[in-house]
Structure 1
């Protein structure tokens, strides 16, 4: 995938990559298409999942192929609304899931970061 931000090029990482039938999606933050960031952790999580599913589709998979999701929140009080976004976005696939609270993300507005893995053909 082409870089979506200058940081990707500077740090030399890929947002999402396909290796054989496996798709690995780097951590995503909930930046909207216009560059804004919602104050709501639930919306940030929804946006993360929108991006993740889009990357998986671009690389030949579908949301049903999700097998693992890792969610990071800066406030454990947001765990339920982030879990709700997880369930809405990929509960049909029933991937493994981890949610942990961390002290901070790369910017003060970021409340959630989510990474995922899919295996094409898993089609849960």
Structure 2
């Protein structure tokens, strides 16, 4: 059984995707779509620090809406258009509070919107 997660506090997806998917088998697994620094009003957070925090807040909201918590995160992938590994590590620690999921950091030429600096996707299981 699969359940879509699209928090009501987010603007509607602009194409055919969900913010997260819960798949029930022997355990539950949540796959979180790439989250970016878009605020609930649809505007993009400005600057690396603001986008990093908004992106993590959005990631954690999907996690919570699906009934998961930080300790359930098993994988995160961050894509960024600027060198920001230290900032990513520091901010990840703030939001995951000591939990250490598998993590991948990728610097890319661009993201879906030229205003986006950071995108984070992940998986959780419980």
Query: Partner of 1:82 in structure 2?
Result: 88
User: Which residue of 69, 75, 85 corresponds with 1:68?
Assistant: 75
Is the Cα–Cα contact under 8 Å of residues 71 and 114 in structure 1 kept in the other structure? Answer: yes
Q: Tell me the C-alpha RMSD between the 2 structures.
A: 1.7
How far apart are the structure 2 equivalents of 1:6 and 1:61?
A: 21
Query: Partner of 2:65 in structure 1?
Result: 58
Query: Partner of 1:97 in structure 2?
Result: 103
| Higher relative helix content | 1
Give the TM-score of the pair, scaled to structure 1: 0.84
| Higher relative strand content | 2
Corresponding residue SS for 1:5? coil
Mapped pair 1:115 → 2:109? no
Q: Which runs of 5+ in 2 are unaligned?
A: none
Is the Cα–Cα contact under 8 Å of residues 45 and 54 in structure 2 kept in the other structure? Answer: no
Q: Which runs of 5+ in 1 are unaligned?
A: none
How far apart are the structure 2 equivalents of 1:119 and 1:65?
A: 5
How far apart are the structure 2 equivalents of 1:13 and 1:38?
A: 22
Q: Quote how far apart the aligned CAs of 1:63 are.
A: 1.3
How far apart are the structure 1 equivalents of 2:93 and 2:74?
A: 13
